[in-house]
Structure 1
């Protein structure tokens, strides 16, 4: 059923679906007996098409999703699975069918992870592989996304491709609005969406109906250097388009794959389908009477459409589902009619008077924010009503508008009910009887004196469940301006959607004025109260939203009635529109005109795997097929803290397909892993955190393994856990002793003197708290372990640190490391979450493979991944700071408390990184910095991209703001006055060289036109009472390198073959940052050959041993220097041949060297010079090789009534970190937008991207320590 529901008048109905009620009992009973018989259905074999190929399957389990079928059965691994909940869009495919009403071919996008494979019976499925591959010419969508640098890790890319492809199949010349809606359900963790939008907007027509790609504007406007101005810093910079689409192939719909003729000629859309596999039954009737008969005979069978609820229950609650009814092919449920008492919420709304369609428009507007496009394409309003979610977006509208539902059953016939306070009777319970079908929804017309509005607030605007929803209807007397009738309904304020009956009753007959407003607010606050421990939390906020929504409604009605209220009446619809013009720029320094054309350094190269990302041909660990591979799943602890009394795998081992169970007793020696050997591989006697692994189940397939793991009985005695930093401090629960830093010790003092705060007149103190943050790499943790001869293992794993995986497997299974080969081709995002957490997955998988002597795969579902692995460290900071009379920072005392989780992991590195960055970019005359790691009963928290550096900057920026507010100072002037200067020493003892912070500050201020924008923001805030804007400019620095000296090293292997091609292996992991692309550039310049001759092989421990994790923003530096070293060795060997054979070319020199028995392979090595800090005694050192600096400016707008907000404008100015590839580095800087938003809310979507966004790299600031081959 489509989401725009069947809304139909049923009185005096004469359609065939009603005739069954007048049938003789004998015919009815005969139909009941036939509904389960094979011959009652046209087809019993699943038939559909995939990429033009006919698929026939007689035995597939109906519980199988389309995504799993595509990947596991058809080996079409371009379709990715990111969440298995329909929330990320990585699994998006296009489904084509013949509409049962119009008989026209319809293309729609869908989440294949939710769609049951039986649901595509008689349909055609198109995946990313089916729209053209690399061997042929790529599809225009694939080409443009590649050229726009729209993929980084690439795991989300196929989903975006298919979403846009589906739009073009339906509308070859879309608008930008169409593009935005098409990708509503797609997420990207890497890019920040700008390059994706740029690529897709190039297909959109402008207001004149023309498709034209225009250059993006400079943030300096008329002051741009290209116009003769000096607004770009007074130095030669070139403003280029982010990508040039003018040379791309135009889209031609005539070249697309046709709809399979068989499906149309044989009328598959009119054929009923029944499938039974191992007791799991799928019914897909095409006749309405058969649907009623099915529901009568099987009243508790689940009726599905979008499957968004049932799929979750099957996947994560392991319900036993024996039968499903899919009514999508029943024509009567697709009909819509316009009558005197109802409408279909479609194009009719455009032709009717505005006064009659106010309810319809509220529904349509709410539908825009309802889920994502891929969910809406297959979902149904009937299903949403029957599911009775307490946070439903639509149910408050139905209740407030007094909409009706028509329920039908074969036994009792039709009945029509109003959706009112009697309809929802409990949590996810309605008055709908088990044998009834929701046949229709009747939505009433509004009238001229009726005002209707609906509101929703979620943690993000699109594709998110609501925090609170509200719908309001006011029927006014046009003569007296009194309220004739009022309806108020809220979702998210009880276990079901509720009407504010008491409030509506007492406000009836009142005049629409401030008295009514005050009374209404009081009544609502009394009628809707929540306990502090209410499920979903945010009790006070939710209660406030009910008042805010009512207030918004009051203002809007007052505006409609032209009633003057002592408040600024603003636009109060659900979410404000934003300009679709993407004004995004990157400023960079062009390469020298003398640079050889084949020298790629500094040029904007596409991602080396970009095209393979867009075609679905990029292979990740989850895509690799191993013959005879078994699957496994971890058995997880049901409590957070306590003792394990018994673990019984008997029920699991009795299940068909389950092969074995292993736990701590099966480990040969070491039961713990980690850098400090304090992390149990399996919990044995005690549980330290909820969902801690207890054992591992091995089975023939992934789903059987998961069901088997769920069947293992784990009995525990629970104890009270320690969860928060506050609880740990109170319980004196610590990991390690206190760490410290004292700037005095770096100045020749041997004794630390405590601050005498009494001598200062300007002192403030405070506390900053910051919670954890999920990494949300799109590819979850997974690995494959393949046993080899002589107890050797081959491990293919998604990790940032192959050395750690190799070390931990060898240590825990007593296997020498030279017999363990760990490999990584690419990973679908890491962000620090795959640095040390990977052994948690790899070691149990290796144990199972070694025990069974068969390949074993372990793949974590998103839920399990988030439960088992740690997050970013929650932090608390307590600070005290003194400011001099001339506004210089003097003394600074700060203590950082980090929630380390149940074991140490990387908490020491995270805390010390926090301690050395807590100064941010400001010079403190004296600083005492302390740190403690709290032990709690949570998953061990770990690295997160910048290792907490910028969170500590937030602490210092908070105190800077507090100082400014306390002493009435301009915070920007205070910042600027205290910025570091060249040669200054930090509290951790490092002298700052090439310190560009003041340059980035001043240039960002100029590029952003900060002072001008500040005046506009102040003017906006004066004019608007309930919407406010804020403008902020913030500087930052980041030290490049690991804190431990021995980790700042890397190796590489460079091989030259006699045909002149070059193969490189290095110790870094490609995870979307473009590392391999940068390595290619470095090697091409060093060897002075075209980049096409060079290939980077997968990262493997048998090529490069003892490699460090790819982390700390140092992968390009270390691996680049190592590759440069190897290339220079080869250059030295080849130089005699170059001198002797000057007229010859590269290949000739290689062959000559080979004939002379000169080695054409070299192992390179590179380091970053640094010295370690003594954190136990507080003495600093030159900890980093260098620092990078940047300044950002951002304008944010907020709705003061609800907290809804958006970023309007952003500018970032960075010092270049690696000169080899500005393009990838520059694009990557959009990631802070996503990362920063994740701290306080949910994963951002394309809609949330600032449409005015500018990134610049500071001219003349190339990294002198990196690999440049100069």
Structure 2
């Protein structure tokens, strides 16, 4: 609320800086009467703890009218454009002497720079009487930086960025006043979708939108229900000396404290070959590992008691948090994987140029998914229970290429921070190697993948399963080759793209014709070349705003790598009233699998969809179902539903033959059938480095245009065009929605979602205040998705393709459009053409790359992992960081040339 913002005086308030700068007055009331005070008075000392008495109540706020010659403006920069607390906010006001540009009064307030809103009071007083010109601007910038003193270090490592924002905001205010605050509001219009086929609305869409969908937390409590709160480790690597639960057991409502000693049989569960511990017994291997759990009559009581459990630790060494730590201590999960094709070393001897470099890609939180919860209800007989369940990455690369842009050889190492247990990290590393070529034919290739074992919480797969990371690495060196040769990135992509019947670097054959079609159609539909020319003209006319454009192709191999993971089952009942009850083994994750399965049954049984009802996935009806992963849910479960329906029709055939003029209601009687479908054949021989691990390939291309603000690093996603090969779509509406959703998730990975850990291994970006996912404002203002026509796929149901994950990688087109805009800035300012950008490419990184006089006033620190991991500051001289990499194959430390 307005009053809440003012009284709380929080530094992160967007309102307080502009209200204070606007000379707003506060009406305060107490038993002693009423009084008016300027709002700016409560921030006079920079700590916000005076002026308003504890017994006073804020009654109203008076906002004065602006006067002739008075200009007021507000600014903010946040990790996300909407629904995010500001990194720095500002409110500024200037009043000129009548008919002149001589400053009569000036107010400058900042939020986010201290514990409360602060005023650059001395700067304002000094500038009164100055004229509004560039000489004043230069003096003001230096005065502001001298007065607004920020600590050299902060938990978020953004001290230098904040200093740059402080002076950049004043410069924006300076320009706005010069232009008399002339602004243009552009109305955005959304073009209607023109889907191919019959788009059917998601079956659960209305329930989700109206809040009628029932989740585990919505299930009514039963008599005697207990709630569980876990007690987790506060150390990354330590021996458990003792666990004292006595105080917790005294808390009200507590029934018991559950430890490893209470788990029957083995205290572990097996997801992979390496078991994972349920309750830590002797030692902990990451912050957040479960040590015990408190059962109580309410969650509040359980949580309160959990805080009373006392654990004594003895710290163990080493504590491995980063990939650099893992390389130093040779801490990897087995097996390490390698793929080699051609003769890499000989090829390096014949190329014109060799490019060396590295790129770091941040992790991504499973923020989008439903939080995990479990409800177990004893049935009271035969000891049965009903259980309801919700159901970091750097690379070091060498690239050899010719001066005409042809890439001849690549030598790459991929390191993945797997955390404290293997989970799926080795499998993710394998996928990185298998999909690292993306859309390009590389004659000579050698690549390694290592899953690093560290003392962070265990990491697992996310949408894309390693391809968004390895694909970004590939597109990065494609872009850098273009910069080195003077060619455009799209030209280098076309030169190296697969063109005819080809085979991958692991010798699986495929036809890339649809890849080429997607590329050409996207080029045409996006009007790439004409827009690129328009962008170049825009950038010549605008110094502080730049646009960029990029087009990126994609080859996405589909398959889960084993027959076991590619099998499915379905159960179909037909009742005497003609209704059909359908159950299958797939999990609805929002991808529309239930809707598509109803469509499959409707087509096979030749009845309206309204006849078909769906029963939620349950192991009582479809046991031993495989996980719904890898975009394979529709492919495998659809075939099971199809087979079950066809079998039921055969059983009904004698009745149909006796009454051929009848209808569905005349023919039906109670029948049911369970169908189980075996998975696809897939194999990969890692010893030989060859195989057929994938069933088929999807293709796509995305073209994105962005605009960056060179003063703040903020950016807008202006337009994206996507052409995707989905085969013959079962449901175009659902498929287009999946492409759009995956793309926006990709934007999150590549431009804003940032995981930060403390030096002790504690996750600092917890919750929506610190961790930002894309919001509505981050969706491209113009978003066009087209499905490639006349595409066939004999390996999946109705010639469709599984596309749930494929669109995620295409979000990197925004990353490279941002890089293109930054390149315009750097070329204009005479800076190095080749520069490193890591993912996520946040506003802070963009601002640092757009070097100018303001960034030189508060230089950005080079953030390297070293003895001060997580420091993010540098420059204090307390530690020395040497950039080096340990090569586990050669068993030696390498010191690559680094220009920083």
TM-score category (smaller protein): 0.7 to 0.9
Is 2:120 the counterpart of 1:500?
Answer: yes
1:770–1:1089 distance in 2 versus 1, CA, 3 Å = same
1:1255–1:640 distance in 2 versus 1, CA, 3 Å = same
1:1218–1:731 distance in 2 versus 1, CA, 3 Å = farther
Cα offset, 1:401, TM superposition: 3.2
Match of residue 321 from structure 2: 723
The separation in 2 between residues aligned to 1:1088 and 1:1009, in whole angstroms, is 43
Residue 298 of structure 2, aligned match among 701, 715, 718: 701
Normalised to the residue count of structure 1, the TM-score between the two structures is 0.59
Contact 1:740 1:1178 in 2 (8 A): no
1:780–1:759 distance in 2 versus 1, CA, 3 Å = same
Is 2:49 the counterpart of 1:452?
Answer: no
Deviations 1:703-751 (A, max 9, x none): 332223233333434567433223332333322242111224xxxxxxx
Is 2:708 the counterpart of 1:1198?
Answer: yes
Match of residue 39 from structure 1: none
- 1:484 is paired with a residue of what secondary structure? strand
Deviations 1:173-203 (A, max 9, x none): xxxxxxxxxxxxxxxxxxxxxxxxxxxxxxx
Cα offset, 1:1178, TM superposition: 5.5
Deviations 1:262-282 (A, max 9, x none): xxxxxxxxxxxxxxxxxxxxx
The separation in 2 between residues aligned to 1:797 and 1:426, in whole angstroms, is 50
Residue 280 of structure 2, aligned match among 677, 683, 690: 683
The separation in 2 between residues aligned to 1:1145 and 1:666, in whole angstroms, is 60
Deviations 1:891-946 (A, max 9, x none): 11111111111111111222212221111111111211211111222221112111
Match of residue 1101 from structure 1: 619
The separation in 1 between residues aligned to 2:109 and 2:211, in whole angstroms, is 46
1:427–1:933 distance in 2 versus 1, CA, 3 Å = farther
The separation in 2 between residues aligned to 1:695 and 1:704, in whole angstroms, is 15
Residue 143 of structure 2, aligned match among 511, 520, 523: 523
Match of residue 156 from structure 1: none
Contact 1:637 1:690 in 2 (8 A): yes
Match of residue 383 from structure 2: 791
Contact 2:207 2:213 in 1 (8 A): yes
Cα offset, 1:999, TM superposition: 0.3
Match of residue 202 from structure 2: 607
Deviations 1:1185-1237 (A, max 9, x none): 10111111111111111112111111111111563222211122111342023
Contact 1:425 1:496 in 2 (8 A): no
The separation in 1 between residues aligned to 2:174 and 2:799, in whole angstroms, is 68
5 Å-filtered alignment, 1:578-597, equals: 578-588=186-196, 590=197
The separation in 1 between residues aligned to 2:199 and 2:177, in whole angstroms, is 54
Contact 1:1082 1:1268 in 2 (8 A): no
Match of residue 88 from structure 1: none
1:1257–1:1269 distance in 2 versus 1, CA, 3 Å = closer
Is 2:545 the counterpart of 1:991?
Answer: no
Match of residue 26 from structure 2: 405
The separation in 2 between residues aligned to 1:1085 and 1:615, in whole angstroms, is 29
Contact 2:43 2:116 in 1 (8 A): no
The separation in 2 between residues aligned to 1:393 and 1:504, in whole angstroms, is 21
Contact 1:909 1:1043 in 2 (8 A): no
1:753–1:975 distance in 2 versus 1, CA, 3 Å = closer
Residue 1243 of structure 1, aligned match among 770, 773, 790: 773
Is 2:448 the counterpart of 1:930?
Answer: yes
Match of residue 855 from structure 2: none
The separation in 2 between residues aligned to 1:414 and 1:542, in whole angstroms, is 39
Contact 1:455 1:471 in 2 (8 A): yes
1:1169–1:660 distance in 2 versus 1, CA, 3 Å = same
- 2:307 is paired with a residue of what secondary structure? helix
Contact 1:471 1:489 in 2 (8 A): yes
Cα offset, 1:515, TM superposition: 1.3
Match of residue 886 from structure 2: none
Match of residue 721 from structure 2: 1211
The separation in 2 between residues aligned to 1:511 and 1:792, in whole angstroms, is 83
Unaligned stretches of 5+ residues in structure 1: 1-378, 561-569, 591-602, 745-751, 800-873, 1155-1159
Match of residue 620 from structure 1: 215
Q: Runs of 4 or more off by more than 6 Å in structure 1?
A: none
The separation in 2 between residues aligned to 1:624 and 1:1219, in whole angstroms, is 36
- 1:488 is paired with a residue of what secondary structure? strand
Residue 264 of structure 2, aligned match among 668, 671, 682: 668
Out of 1109-1118 and 724-733, give the one that drifted further.
724-733
Contact 2:344 2:446 in 1 (8 A): no
- 1:517 is paired with a residue of what secondary structure? helix
1:501–1:1269 distance in 2 versus 1, CA, 3 Å = closer
The separation in 2 between residues aligned to 1:1141 and 1:448, in whole angstroms, is 89
The separation in 2 between residues aligned to 1:587 and 1:1124, in whole angstroms, is 25
Match of residue 1032 from structure 1: 550
Match of residue 558 from structure 1: 178
Out of 478-487 and 694-703, give the one that drifted further.
478-487
- 1:1229 is paired with a residue of what secondary structure? helix
Cα offset, 1:1169, TM superposition: 2.5
Residue 731 of structure 2, aligned match among 1190, 1211, 1221: 1221
5 Å-filtered alignment, 1:793-942, equals: 793-799=385-391, 874-942=392-460
Cα offset, 1:429, TM superposition: 4.4
- 1:1120 is paired with a residue of what secondary structure? helix
Tell me the C-alpha RMSD between the 2 structures: 2.5
Is 2:619 the counterpart of 1:1021?
Answer: no
Contact 2:478 2:493 in 1 (8 A): yes
Deviations 1:552-571 (A, max 9, x none): 111122233xxxxxxxxx96
Cα offset, 1:1078, TM superposition: 0.7
Structure number with larger C-alpha Rg: 1
Deviations 1:199-234 (A, max 9, x none): xxxxxxxxxxxxxxxxxxxxxxxxxxxxxxxxxxxx
1:1052–1:1207 distance in 2 versus 1, CA, 3 Å = same
1:618–1:1257 distance in 2 versus 1, CA, 3 Å = same
The separation in 1 between residues aligned to 2:266 and 2:211, in whole angstroms, is 41
The separation in 1 between residues aligned to 2:721 and 2:447, in whole angstroms, is 32
Cα offset, 1:885, TM superposition: 4.6
Contact 1:913 1:1043 in 2 (8 A): no
Contact 1:532 1:539 in 2 (8 A): yes
Unaligned stretches of 5+ residues in structure 2: 753-771, 801-900
1:1168–1:972 distance in 2 versus 1, CA, 3 Å = farther
Residue 1163 of structure 1, aligned match among 674, 690, 694: 674
Match of residue 797 from structure 2: 1267
The separation in 2 between residues aligned to 1:1036 and 1:1042, in whole angstroms, is 19
The separation in 2 between residues aligned to 1:758 and 1:693, in whole angstroms, is 53
- 2:174 is paired with a residue of what secondary structure? helix
Match of residue 1144 from structure 1: 662
The separation in 1 between residues aligned to 2:113 and 2:702, in whole angstroms, is 39
- 2:685 is paired with a residue of what secondary structure? coil
Match of residue 587 from structure 2: 1069
Is 2:647 the counterpart of 1:1129?
Answer: yes
Cα offset, 1:982, TM superposition: 4.3
- 2:510 is paired with a residue of what secondary structure? coil
- 1:1230 is paired with a residue of what secondary structure? helix
Contact 1:388 1:427 in 2 (8 A): no
Is 2:334 the counterpart of 1:742?
Answer: no
Out of 695-704 and 889-898, give the one that drifted further.
695-704
- 1:585 is paired with a residue of what secondary structure? coil
Contact 2:498 2:512 in 1 (8 A): no
The separation in 2 between residues aligned to 1:721 and 1:439, in whole angstroms, is 55
Normalised to the residue count of structure 2, the TM-score between the two structures is 0.82
- 2:382 is paired with a residue of what secondary structure? helix
Contact 1:630 1:700 in 2 (8 A): yes
The separation in 1 between residues aligned to 2:792 and 2:213, in whole angstroms, is 32
Contact 2:260 2:278 in 1 (8 A): yes
